[in-house]
């Protein structure tokens, strides 16, 4: 039975899932995937996996937080074998919620650097996304920029656009700073950053770049793959906005630019555990990793995989090698610091 793509809520969600998977959930040739990645950003890889292995992938896509709640609600009755989600902070929450299990795989250990996997093997990174600084070309010289810490300098007063404190990407950025500098210094930085906001945080990463292009601010903080999507997408207004800014890699003389991951975890009650591991191993193979770079404008998590032409145009950079499990561990402290700093 095919697994129809749908998003459910409450008791109906569990009932529907049970109905859909009432037959064949343990079939040797299937794997059931919950993915926070949009279908267009993952299905071509899943189709290739099925072609090569004969294993059918039943896909459900949805909001990352909603999928985690779904797994918790379904408990032992969950049909899901594998969870793909964005941000190490969310993967940490999944582990804390008890909906994942540790996986021992030499293939995964060899492919995924230690910094990009959970120490006990509960999750593994699939792709990297950097969160650098974007600056308005006609207002800012790259020589004026240096680090995330420098964004708290009064010279940037009224000049910075960034998403809200409720955004997991910003929470993870702050969590990384806690890991490197401690809570006291990070709180001082956050207070200075907030004083430099050009406007109250609103919108997504693309909106920060568009705001800079519209003259609302001179500096924006955003993930690189959004920038790539704007430059190459069909929306002419987004492309023109993206062309007005340039990318700057912060902290190159120190710890490196903050990076995060999309990653995957085998679920705690996976009925098709072996197939889930096979799919996870497939997603870190060079061919799959190259696809991420070409189509999603994300960086391969695996060393030795060529970057796409666009990523190469942005240049090489030093990335922070902090073990990303620290982002989840420091998340609650990061949220409290942001709240006290007045980061809306």
What pLDDT digit, counting tens, does each position of 119-152 carry? 999 999 999 999 999 999 999 999 999 999 999 9
Q: What local confidence, expressed as pLDDT, does residue 41 receive?
A: 81
Q: Is residue 204 located within the same domain as residue 326?
A: yes
- The two three-digit tokens of residue 139, written as one number: 């207002």
CATH code for the domain of 326: 3.40.190.10
For residue 15, pLDDT over 80 is answered with no
Q: What value does the mean pLDDT take over residues 95-99?
A: 97
What pLDDT digit, counting tens, does each position of 139-186 carry? 999 999 999 999 999 999 999 999 999 999 999 999 999 999 999 999
Tokens 């040739």 sit on residue: 29
DSSP states along 203-224:
S-HHHHHHHHHTTS-SEEE--H
Q: Is residue 323 located within the same domain as residue 183?
A: yes
Residue 18 CA to its chain's centroid (Å): 29
Q: Is residue 250 located within the same domain as residue 287?
A: no
In a domain, 167, yes or no: yes
Q: Is residue 215 located within the same domain as residue 336?
A: yes
Query: How wide is the angle at C-alpha 282 spanned by C-alphas 34 and 101, nearest 5°?
Result: 50
What pLDDT digit, counting tens, does each position of 261-318 carry? 999 999 999 999 999 999 999 999 999 999 888 888 999 999 999 999 999 999 999 9
Radius of gyration of the chain, Cα coordinates, nearest whole angstrom = 20
Instruction: Confirm if 334 and 174 have CB atoms less than 8 A apart.
Output: yes
For residue 3, pLDDT over 90 is answered with no
Spell out where 196-276 has E strands. Answer: 219-221, 245-248, 259-266
Q: Is residue 48 located within the same domain as residue 169?
A: no
At 190, is the pLDDT very low, low, confident or very high (cuts 50, 70, 90)? very high
Neighbours of 141 (CB within 10 A): 8
3-state class (DSSP) for residue 186: helix
At 13, is the pLDDT very low, low, confident or very high (cuts 50, 70, 90)? very low
Q: Is residue 199 located within the same domain as residue 228?
A: yes
What pLDDT digit, counting tens, does each position of 205-256 carry? 999 999 999 999 999 999 999 999 999 999 999 999 999 999 999 999 999 9
Element (H, E) at 106: helix 106-111
For residue 10, pLDDT over 50 is answered with no
What range defines the domain where residue 89 resides? 10-129+260-306
Q: Is residue 149 located within the same domain as residue 113?
A: no
For residue 22, pLDDT over 50 is answered with no
Q: What local confidence, expressed as pLDDT, does residue 38 receive?
A: 84
Q: Is residue 103 located within the same domain as residue 194?
A: no
First and final CA of the chain: distance in angstroms? 46
DSSP 142: G
Report the number of distinct structural domains present in the chain: 2
Q: What local confidence, expressed as pLDDT, does residue 292 receive?
A: 81
In a domain, 5, yes or no: no
Q: Is residue 27 located within the same domain as residue 68?
A: yes
Q: Is residue 216 located within the same domain as residue 195?
A: yes
Distances (CA, A) of 203 to 83, 135, 225, 271, 318: 26, 18, 16, 39, 28
Closest CA to 96 of 115, 63, 120, 61: 120
């Amino acid at each position: 039975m095919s697994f129809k793509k749908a998003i459910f809520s409450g008791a109906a969600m569990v009932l529907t899932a049970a109905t859909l998977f009432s037959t064949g959930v343990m079939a040797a040739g299937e794997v059931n995937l919950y993915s926070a990645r949009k279908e267009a950003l993952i299905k071509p890889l899943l189709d290739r996996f099925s072609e090569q292995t004969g294993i059918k992938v039943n896909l459900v896509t949805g909001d990352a937080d909603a999928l985690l709640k779904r797994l918790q609600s379904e408990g032992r009755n969950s049909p899901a074998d594998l969870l793909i989600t964005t941000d190490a902070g969310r993967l940490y929450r999944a582990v804390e919620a008890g909906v994942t299990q540790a996986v021992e795989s030499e293939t995964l250990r060899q492919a995924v650097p230690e910094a990009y996997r959970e120490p006990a093997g509960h999750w593994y990174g699939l792709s990297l996304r950097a969160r650098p600084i974007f600056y308005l070309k006609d207002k800012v010289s790259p020589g004026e920029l240096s680090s995330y810490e420098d964004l708290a300098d009064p010279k940037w007063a009224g000049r910075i656009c960034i998403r809200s404190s409720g955004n997991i990407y910003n929470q993870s950025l702050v969590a990384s700073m806690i890991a490197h500098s401690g809570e006291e210094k990070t709180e001082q930085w956050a207070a200075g950053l907030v004083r430099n906001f050009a406007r109250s945080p609103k919108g997504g990463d693309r909106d920060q770049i568009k705001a800079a292009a519209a003259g609302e601010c001179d500096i924006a903080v955003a993930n690189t793959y959004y920038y790539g999507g704007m430059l190459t997408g069909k929306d002419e207004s987004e492309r023109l906005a993206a062309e007005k800014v340039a990318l700057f890699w912060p902290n190159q003389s120190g710890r490196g630019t903050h990076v995060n991951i999309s990653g995957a975890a085998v679920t705690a009650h996976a009925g098709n555990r072996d197939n889930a591991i096979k799919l996870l191993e497939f997603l870190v193979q060079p061919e799959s990793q190259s696809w991420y770079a070409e189509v999603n404008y994300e960086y391969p998590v695996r060393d030795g995989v060529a970057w796409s032409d666009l990523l190469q145009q942005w240049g090489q950079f030093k990335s922070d090698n902090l073990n990303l499990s620290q982002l989840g561990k420091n998340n609650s402290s990061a949220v409290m610091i942001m709240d006290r700093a007045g980061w809306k």
